[in-house]
Structure 1
Amino acid sequence: MFAQAIEDILQDQCTPAVVRAIEAGGSPLKLWQALQGAGFLELLASEDAGGAGLPLTDLFPILCSFGRYTVPVPVAQTIVARALLGSQFAMPSGMITLGAALRREAGGAIVCSFTPYGMLADFVLAQDGDALLLLHCAAAQREASGVHGSLTATLRWSDARVATHVPGAGPLLPTFAAALHAALLSGAMTRVFEMTLKHCNDRIQFGKTLGKFQAVQHQLSVMAEHVAAASMAAEAAFHTDAAAPSLLAAAMAKSRTSEAAVLVASIAHALHGAIGIAEEYDLQLLTRRLHEWRMAHGSEAHWNVLIGQRVLAADVSIVDFVRSV
């Protein structure tokens, strides 16, 4: 029910033209208000707190839709942030993104580096040990990443007193961030594969469609394998009755989707040729997101360290370890 309702809104309100306009500095308010007005920001909040109380298994396809449409506002992050803040906290009004790497400088300043949607967000929710810090972006200096069309930014607050300390739930933030970006990557990769398959079936070269060439078929099959494997890993992180994904499942999901993102993007552009990087063609909207979301909250290299540590610490064979996940 929720997945289809969000799909309908995104089809109407989050067109490629809207994505391009927001990336170019246009206002995101119309899109944001459409999502907020439909009540989708409270999907994970409990019913007692006025939310939908949606289980994680039902949240996964919704996050995938956000990835498919390359939604240029931090709606996925806000859904998670509002759930982490809980009903005991006065909920801020506006876009909340999740801080990827918080550090405190000697002079008391707080810096959140390479924060997804940092150019647009009204607030940043970041982990600070076992607690959370809620930071108002109006008081921050924003430094764009410099990447074309990117909404990622490094934010710096000169005075730590602007932060609101929220006890508890700190360790859950990186877990949720990894899982939600895995779902976003899954949705975007699926759309990239669909576009590439259609292009190869429609584009005629040397008297036949590209898809009739064996070398192209091989590349498409490799692409399909990685998209399927990555999507399964992402879905597994949400396949739980718990209120939050497990850290290991989230790590495996983010690692597998991040690893696949590079390969899927490269094959897509190889099979599309020059048209794939054209500003007017939608493929580059998706593949840029693949590279950006791969790096957000840790690439496969980051999460593979945690996975490797868990494997080494387990007193079982690798096969039994995989079965236990």
Structure 2
Amino acid sequence: MFSEAFEDLLKGQCPPAAVRAIDAGCHHEALWSVILESGFLELMAPEDAGGAGADLADALPLFMALGAHAVPLPVGQAIALRTLLPAGEAVPQGLPTFAPSLVSARDTTWVAPRVPYGMLAGPVLAEQGGTLWLLDAHDAQRRHCRLHGEPTADLRWESDIEQVGKRLGDAGGTPGRLAAWAAALHAALLTGAITRCFELTLQYGNDRIQFGRSIGKFQAVQHQLAVMAEHVAAARIATAAAFRVGTTQPALLPAAIAKARSSEAAALVAATAHGLHGAIGVTEEYDLQLYTRRLHSWRLAHGSEQYWHGIVGEALMNSSTSAAEFVREL
């Protein structure tokens, strides 16, 4: 029920033309206002706070829909934010984003590298040493990361964190809680986008005629499509495992596996999609580039597959169980 209504909203309010306009620097306030007023941002908020009290499994189709429609605003972060704020804490105004890798450059300088939507965001939920902080990006120096069409930025606060941020307490008793959310969220976004890329490529293979028949009839093309389908399926399974029924907080290891697997699939799917589309795939007029650009951006967000493979590998090495038992437990 939630997902169908959300899909209808995105189809009507966030078509490719709207995505292109926001990517080009046009105002995003109209789209954000519609999404805000729709009530979907309160999906996972507790019922006593006016939300729907949905769990991760309920929310997963919405996060994947954001990727499938290349939504150029941090809607997923806004939904997840409601589950991370302490009880009674007011939801901050503006476009939110996450910075789970806040580090101290000097005694009074704090840096959050490669923050998704850092050029647009207002409130920044950050974690440092197991403590959650609510910062304001307007107080930071923003340095664009030069990803084409993507507002990713390095944020730098030249003040003591106590002066520029609000301490929200420890990370719900679970250090790495924000990192787990960031990984799971981007795994869902990636999975939605690679699914859309596969659909576009499959349709193009059926429509494009060469030597008297559609190119999708050629065995070499069918082989590449089959490999794409395998990676899409693997990413969807790994991501679903991180969004468990009855919980509102992703666990770190399933989220790490989901982010690693979806990031790995993103690189192959983007390359294969462009290879099978030929020159048309990179043109501004064709929708494929809206998704593949985001695949590369979201793949790097909060760490590529190499980083998350390291997290999983370290957990395995510190485990007393066998590798097979370790996987079964996850």
TM range (shorter): over 0.9
The question of whether the paired residues in 2 share the 8 Å contact of 1:44 and 1:79 is answered with yes
In structure 2, the residue matched to 1:301 is 306
1:316 shift after superposition: 2.6
In structure 2, the residue matched to 1:138 is 138
In structure 2, the residue matched to 1:319 is 324
SS in 2 for 1:95: coil
SS in 2 for 1:105: strand
Unaligned runs of 5+ in 1: none
In structure 1, the residue matched to 2:206 is 201
The question of whether the paired residues in 1 share the 8 Å contact of 2:56 and 2:245 is answered with yes
1:280 shift after superposition: 0.9
Q: Give the distance between the partners of 1:247 and 1:28, measured in 2 at CA.
A: 32
Q: Give the distance between the partners of 1:86 and 1:318, measured in 2 at CA.
A: 37
Residue identity matched to 2:214: T
Residue identity matched to 1:255: A
The question of whether the paired residues in 1 share the 8 Å contact of 2:116 and 2:152 is answered with yes
Q: Out of 200, 205, 217, which is 1:212 matched to?
A: 217
In structure 1, the residue matched to 2:283 is 278
Q: Give the distance between the partners of 1:41 and 1:129, measured in 2 at CA.
A: 28
Equivalent residue pairs, number:
325
User: Could you report, residue by residue, the CA deviation over 1:202-234 in whole angstroms, capped at 9, with x for unpaired residues?
Assistant: 001121111011000000000000000111100
1:320 shift after superposition: 1.9
In structure 1, the residue matched to 2:77 is 77
User: Sequence identity, in percent?
Assistant: 53
In structure 2, the residue matched to 1:171 is 176
Q: Give the distance between the partners of 1:241 and 1:118, measured in 2 at CA.
A: 32
SS in 1 for 2:233: helix
1:122 shift after superposition: 1.3
Q: Give the distance between the partners of 2:323 and 2:157, measured in 1 at CA.
A: 45
In structure 2, the residue matched to 1:148 is 148
1:196 shift after superposition: 0.2
The question of whether the paired residues in 2 share the 8 Å contact of 1:100 and 1:114 is answered with no
Tell me whether 1:86 sits opposite 2:91 in the alignment.
Answer: no
1:107 shift after superposition: 5.1
SS in 1 for 2:155: strand
Moved more, 166-175 or 69-78: 166-175
The question of whether the paired residues in 2 share the 8 Å contact of 1:45 and 1:86 is answered with no
Tell me whether 1:244 sits opposite 2:249 in the alignment.
Answer: yes
1:157 shift after superposition: 1.8
Residue identity matched to 2:34: A
1:164 shift after superposition: 1.1
TM-score normalized with structure 2 length: 0.96
The question of whether the paired residues in 1 share the 8 Å contact of 2:93 and 2:123 is answered with no
1:264 shift after superposition: 0.5
Moved more, 102-111 or 304-313: 102-111
SS in 1 for 2:312: helix
| Mapping of residues 23-42 of structure 1, within 5 Å | 23-42=23-42
> Structure 1: which 4+ aligned runs deviate by more than 3 Å?
none
Q: Give the distance between the partners of 2:315 and 2:132, measured in 1 at CA.
A: 25
Q: Give the distance between the partners of 1:221 and 1:67, measured in 2 at CA.
A: 22
In structure 2, the residue matched to 1:8 is 8
SS in 1 for 2:254: helix
Moved more, 75-84 or 175-184: 75-84
SS in 2 for 1:167: strand
TM-score normalized with structure 1 length: 0.97
User: Could you report, residue by residue, the CA deviation over 1:272-291 in whole angstroms, capped at 9, with x for unpaired residues?
Assistant: 00000001111001001111
Moved more, 84-93 or 267-276: 84-93
In structure 2, the residue matched to 1:65 is 65
In structure 2, the residue matched to 1:117 is 117
User: Could you report, residue by residue, the CA deviation over 1:152-177 in whole angstroms, capped at 9, with x for unpaired residues?
Assistant: 11112222311111102252100011
SS in 1 for 2:228: helix
SS in 2 for 1:239: coil
| Mapping of residues 251-290 of structure 1, within 5 Å | 251-290=256-295
Q: Give the distance between the partners of 1:64 and 1:150, measured in 2 at CA.
A: 19
Q: Give the distance between the partners of 1:304 and 1:240, measured in 2 at CA.
A: 25
Moved more, 214-223 or 17-26: 17-26
Tell me whether 1:310 sits opposite 2:296 in the alignment.
Answer: no
Unaligned runs of 5+ in 2: none
